[in-house]
Amino acid sequence: MSKKPAIPSVRTGQTVLDQALSAVKQTLDAMTGQAKNIDRLAPLPATATLPEVIERLNEITSRMQ
């Protein structure tokens, strides 16, 4: 699985817009594995059990919040 390209920082000069775009960038970086302080999620095997799938979904949900 290849890494997604990093999302560049955007500076519009409008503080509120820059803050909103920064928050979106941080979330997307965490979801795509670009964030430096967050490990990438490994794919689940085809034999994953329901509890393993639920655990992974909880990890993804946690990253989005």
Q: What digits encode the pLDDT tens for the residues 24-56? A: 888 888 877 777 777 778 899 999 999 999 999
Instruction: For residue 30, give the nearest of 10, 9, 59 by alpha carbon.
Output: 59
Range of the domain at 38: 15-64
As a whole number of angstroms, the distance between CA 65 and CA 43 comes to 21
As a whole number of angstroms, the distance between CA 48 and CA 43 comes to 10
- Neighbouring CB atoms inside 10 A of 35's CB total 17
Residue with tokens 């909880």: 58
On whether residue 56 sits in a domain, the answer given is yes
On whether residue 1 sits in a domain, the answer given is no
Q: Which residue has the higher pLDDT, 4 or 61?
A: 61
On whether residue 5 sits in a domain, the answer given is no
How many residues appear in the chain? 65
On whether residue 33 sits in a domain, the answer given is yes
Least confident of 1-10, 23-32, 55-64: 1-10
Q: How many domains does the chain have?
A: 1
Cβ contact 4:34 at 8 Å: yes
